[in-house]
Amino acid sequence: MPHDHDHDFDGASPAYRRALIAVIVLNGGLFLVEMTAGALAGSRALQADALDFGADALTYALSLLVIGRSLRLRARIAQLKGLSLAAMGVVILGLAIRDALAPGLPRAEVMGAVGVAALAANVASVLILMRWRDGDANVRSVWLCSRNDAIGNVAVMGAAALVAATGSGWPDLITAIAMAGLFLSSSLQILKRAHRETRGDHGHDDHNHGAHSH
């Protein structure tokens, strides 16, 4: 039986599974590229973006595993993703604050080139997932992570331009801090929705599939 788009689609369709696998491959590849480039360029913003890619690849794989399982289990996995985003935000924030005490100068040309490649991969991911952006907490968390990545890439490219223009490492650090804030706000959104779903599932196992609560 087909689900309406706004009735919290749970990901249980072959097309969505294929889309998710494609996005996992894209994210895993970009994690390796950006983490290496971030280390070589001395860019916290690139490393923040790389961490995001790595966490996404891992959590998308978890999403794939729990498709079709109970609402409560899917919501628990979404909570795990929300907590991992929050942890990532705190780590990046800590590193950026530490660097602010002795800022270096990242290599703007590496930041810019990798930012363009990452943006292309993310726009592809967002387009692949666009039609499923309004699903349950599990499906929605995948969409939010992909959207965050695209925003992050644009921010990295902007930071690269400002580093080149100003000869200062501050734009890189400010971008990393802003991305940490984005991780924390998305984490809150995912956790709130997952919390609603774990409570909504309580005592409604029999007619779980037919009901939807707001």
Q: What is the pTM of this model?
A: 0.70
- The pLDDT value given to residue 206: 37
Domain 14-200 has what CATH class? mainly alpha
> So where are the chain's domains?
14-200
- The pLDDT value given to residue 7: 54
- The pLDDT value given to residue 4: 41
Token pair, residue 25, equals 């491959």
Below-70 pLDDT ranges, the chain: 1-8, 10-11, 103, 200-214
Q: What are the residue ranges of helices labelled H in the chain?
A: 14-41, 44-66, 71-100, 108-129, 137-166, 170-200
- The pLDDT value given to residue 161: 93
- The pLDDT value given to residue 11: 67
**Please, are residues 152 and 44 in contact by the beta-carbon 8 Å criterion?**
no
Burial of residue 206 (number of CB atoms within 10 Å: 0-12, 13-18, 19+)? exposed
Angle subtended by helix axes 170-200 and 137-166, to nearest 10:
170
- The pLDDT value given to residue 53: 86
